[in-house]
Chains A and B, each alone.
Chain A
Amino acid sequence: MTAPTPLVTRTTPETGSRGLIAGVGLLVATLTVASIAVGYAAIDLPAALGDWLAGRATLPALVLMELRLPRALLGGLVGFSLGLTGAVMQGYLRNPLADPGILGISSAAALGAVVVFYGGLAGSLSLALPLGGIAGAALAALGINGLAARGTGTLGLILAGIGLSSLAGALTALALNLAPNPYAALEIVFWLMGSLADRSMDHVRLCLPLMALGWILMLSTARALDALALGEDTAASLGFDLVSVRIRIVTGAALAVGSGVAVSGAIGFVGLVVPHLVRPLVGARPGASLWPSGLLGAALVLGADLVVRLLPTRPELKLGVVTALVGAPFLIALLFRREQGR
């Protein structure tokens, strides 16, 4: 008798996967430093850092800690959330087109954040902003999950996502037009396309804990996702509690995407593109693609945020413009490949 193969019981990443994580991690670290170094005004970074460490609140030190650092951190955090959520959803739904943007989760999160912020609730409780985003994202994720549970196919889910995105976008525009502040209606572009311009450490503090909780929940499903690649029955027979897996994925995605969108707006296509780039490198195991996808998502958003600042367009481009320029042709190519594969 041979021993059962340890295919899905492996708990540590393979050596190749570790190398990939280290490499992409290094890329993220480099881009974070670059993001801090690039800005609209020249500052002496070492001197600014020295001032800050010495407790001198000079203007360069303030710009470094209150503008450059939160912008870089949020780029990495939001990108990690989108990349990770994309990889988890593609693995869980066994659907190569799953992405928080395409499935309408980001738009719904933006709607939730808009209703809370412009309705004035965030003034009395600042945590209301990410909570509003999470509520919107959770509703959308539950809806998508319900459709998937009824056996809706890949294209059916995408169509439902397009419908949900349009509806959430329209309701966001409606909420902004009804908002009492005269500037609100002008801010629709931020919510639809996303931006990290002039954010602060307050935004980092607001979204980080909820986001991290979402990551933990989603990362905990890595082994279950590997098993699910063999089918739900197989996964269940291997001892995975599929109800628990579903709850962790829906809650995790809502927490990570909802709190991210609440501070950055909806940035599309990151969660779609990244898992496809990672998958050939990790041997098509969904569980092994989670960490690399999150890190590559962080690298993509940080890179896009560098591009919008380096391009000479003023006012700067919204982040979603750059990610769509990369992601939309990618989506079209994926659809063509599916057609040819039939």
Chain B
Amino acid sequence: MRALSLLGLVGGLAAYMASGLASAGETPAGPGWPSRIVSLNLCADELVLRLADRAQVAAVTTLAGDPRGSTVATEATGVPVTRGLAEEIVALKPDLVIAGAFTTRTTVGLLKRIGFPPLELGVPADFDGVRAQIRQVAAAVGHPERGEAMVAELDATLSQIVPASRSLRVMVLRPNAFTVSPGSLGDAIIRAAGLVNVAAEIGRDRTGSVPLEAAALADADLVVLDAGEAGTPSFADALLHHPILERIRAQGRTVPIPNRLWTCPGPQVAEVAARLAAAARERAPMSAPMKAP
């Protein structure tokens, strides 16, 4: 009985979605282009808001408008938001849903069951993956030329990077002492800047967090800390103000780069590589004598 009623519910949802799809065709957005895009993931929000017309976007996530984590907080102003719940998504009658491969799995599962699979974005581990994802989203929202322009912008920034005179060792520390794991996009960004990721040398737990003493003893030439003062306390952030890191800060070894620039694939990741390289060039001439005796 329960299975039957569940089936009925799913069937009803499918019919509802289909009616949404039918009405979507009537809006004058362009032939075959989606006109009611719903994004279920912050990284999808960033690409959708940059690549699609504002009128095409039906909703983004609640995270998109928070300037602490989002690079498109300005673009997200006034765009409706959802928390990624299935009922919210269905009510919006979307004709394209873009989700992340690891978030809002229940909603994604339901959309698949009712025959409306969302476009699922993976987590790229290198710049080729970033380029491919930009092109994928640009094609899906009906603006492939904007995708090509964004890829060109990314490549232009990357090609202008001048590495430091020698490859310095860099350590990224985020709240809760999370670092950049080898083999991730962050690692590729570090390599693009001509630097070496110290996190590969020290033990991390399976979530990518490092013990503070191992991070300190790794003796990186550069330590990347998000300098953005949250203004609202947490132990996760307070850890980045531990006296031992303040000493390293006082030695001028820290580089402030906001965490939000690292989070998602987009043109901003080239910007991170450029900033890292600039910090390394500033540091390279005088770095040798600063090592502990």
Residues of A within 8 A of B202 (CB): 41
- In the bound complex, CA of A233 to CA of B205 (Å): 59
Inter-chain CA distance A179–B231, complex, in Å, is 12
**Inter-chain contact B234/A62, CB cutoff 8 Å:** no
Could you tell me the distance between the alpha carbons of A186 and B236 in the complex, rounded to whole angstroms? 9
Q: Are A183 and B209 in contact, with the CB atoms below 8 A?
A: no
Binary B-proximity of A34-50 (CB < 8 A = 1, otherwise 0): 00000111010000000
Instruction: List CB contacts (< 8 Å) of B34-56 with chain A.
Output: none
Please state if B216 and A181 are interface contacts (CB–CB under 8 Å). no
Please tell me if A314 contacts chain B, counting CB pairs below 8 Å. Answer: yes
Is B219 located at the chain interface by the 8 A CB criterion?
A: yes
Is B243's CB under 8 angstroms from A66's CB?
Answer: yes
Using A41-B211, A41-B213 as known contacts, say yes or no to A179 and B234 having CB atoms under 8 A apart: yes
CB-based contact B216/A59 at 8 Å: yes
Chain B interface residue count, CB cutoff 8 Å, equals 34
Chain B residue nearest in CB terms to A56: B293
Please tell me if the beta carbons of A67 and B232 are within 8 angstroms of each other in the complex. no
A40→B217 CA distance, assembly (Å):
10
Any A CB within 8 A of the CB of B200 = no
Contact A187-B243, Cβ < 8 Å, known A41-B202, A59-B217, A314-B206: no
B1 at the interface (CB under 8 A from A): no
The answer to whether B247 touches A183, judged by C-beta atoms less than 8 angstroms apart, is no
In whole angstroms, how far apart are the Cα atoms of A56 and B293 in the complex? 9
Task: Decide if A181 touches B232 in the complex (CB within 8 Å).
Answer: yes
Q: B235: which A residues are within 8 A, CB to CB?
A: 183, 187, 190
- Give, as a whole number of angstroms, the nearest-CB distance from B129 to chain A: 26
Docked-complex contact A62 and B216, CB < 8 angstroms: yes
How many contacts A-B (CB < 8 Å)? 93
Q: Which of B176, B213, B233, B244 contacts A39 (CB 8 A)?
A: B213
- Within 8 Å CB of A123, what residues of B? 233
B interface footprint on A314-341 (CB within 8 Å = 1, 0 otherwise): 1100000000000000000000000000
Q: Assuming the A-B contacts A183-B234, A190-B235, are A314 and B216 also in contact, with contact meaning beta carbons closer than 8 angstroms in the complex?
A: no
B175 & A183 in contact (Cβ 8 Å cutoff) = yes
**Cα distance A68–B244 when bound, in Å?**
11
Q: Is there an interface contact between A66 and B206, defined as CB atoms closer than 8 Å?
A: no
Nearest CB of B to A326, in Å: 24
Check if B239 sits within 8 Å of A202, measured CB to CB: no
How far is the CB of A153 from the nearest CB of chain B, in Å? 39
Q: Which residues of B211-246 are within 8 A (CB) of A?
A: 211-214, 216-217, 219, 230-237, 239, 242-244
Set A67, A117, A190, A315: member contacting B244, Cβ < 8 A:
A67
Q: Quick one: which of A117, A179, A314 has the most chain B CB within 10 A?
A: A314
A89 to chain B, nearest CB (A): 29
Query: A66 is contacted by which of B214, B236, B237, B244 (Cβ under 8 Å)?
Result: B244
- Of A59, A186, A198, A201, the contact of B239 (CB 8 Å cutoff): A198
The complex places the Cα of A123 from the Cα of B211 at a distance, in Å, of 25
Instruction: Give A177-201 as 1s and 0s: 1 = Cβ < 8 Å from B's Cβ atoms.
Output: 0011111101100100000011011
Q: How far is the CA of A190 from the CA of B176 in the complex (A)?
A: 12
What residues of B have a CB within 8 angstroms of the CB of A186 in the complex?
Answer: 176, 236
Central interface residue in A58, A63, A182, A202, by most chain B CB within 10 Å: A182
Q: A57-B247, A201-B243 are in contact. Are A118 and B234 (CB under 8 A)?
A: yes
Contact pick for B212, options A58, A67, A122, CB 8 Å: A67
- Taking a contact as CB atoms under 8 Å apart, the answer to whether B69 and A182 are in contact is yes
Query: Does A25 reach chain B (CB closer than 8 Å)?
Result: no
Residues of A with C-beta under 8 A to B217: 41, 43, 59-60, 63
Residue B292 at the chain A interface, CB threshold 8 Å: yes
Q: How large is the interface on A (under 10, 10 to 19, 20 to 34, 35 or more residues)?
A: 35 or more
Contacts of B243 in A (CB 8 A): 66, 200-202
Q: Assuming A59-B216, A66-B242, A198-B242, is B205 touching A183 (CB within 8 A)?
A: no
> Does B86 make an interface contact (CB < 8 A)?
no
Residues of B within 8 A of A122 (CB): 233
- The answer to whether A315 and B205 touch (CB under 8 A), given A181-B234, A183-B176, is yes
Contact of A181 among B206, B219, B233, B239 (CB under 8 A): B233
Tell me if A120 counts as interface (CB < 8 A to partner B): yes
B68 contacts across to A, CB distance below 8 A: 182
Q: Specify the chain A residue showing the minimal Cβ separation from B175.
A: A183
Give the complex CA separation of A180 and B231 in angstroms: 9
Q: Indicate which residue in B213, B219, B234, B244 contacts A184 across the interface (CB closer than 8 Å).
A: B234
Tell me if B244 and A181 are in contact (CB < 8 A): no
Chain A nearest CB, measured from B166 CB (Å): 21
Are A63 and B234 in contact (CB-based, < 8 A)?
Answer: no
| Cβ < 8 Å to B, chain A residues 130-185 | 179-184
Residue of A nearest to B207 (CB): A315
Which residues from A are CB-within-8-Å of B230?
A: 181
How far apart are the CA atoms of A62 and B212 in the complex, in Å? 12
B176 neighbours in A (Cβ, 8 Å): 183, 186
Partner of B213, one of A58, A67, A179, A187: A67
B203 → A minimal CB distance (Å): 7
A58→B293 CA distance, assembly (Å):
7
Q: For the complex formed, measure the closest distance between the CB of B87 and the CB atoms of chain A, giving whole angstroms.
A: 22
Q: Is the CB of B232 within 8 A of A179?
A: yes
Which residues 102-135 in A have Cβ within 8 Å of B in the complex? 117-118, 120, 122-123
Instruction: Give 17 pairs: A residue, B residue, CB < 8 Å, sorted on A.
Output: A39-B211, A40-B213, A43-B217, A57-B247, A58-B292, A62-B216, A67-B242, A118-B232, A118-B234, A122-B233, A180-B232, A181-B233, A183-B175, A183-B235, A197-B211, A202-B243, A315-B205
Nearest 8 A-B pairs (CB), nearest first?
A314-B205, A183-B236, A40-B211, A181-B234, A180-B232, A183-B234, A181-B232, A66-B244
Given A59-B217, A123-B233, A197-B211: 6 more A-B contacts, CB < 8 Å? A122-B233, A181-B230, A183-B236, A198-B239, A314-B204, A314-B205
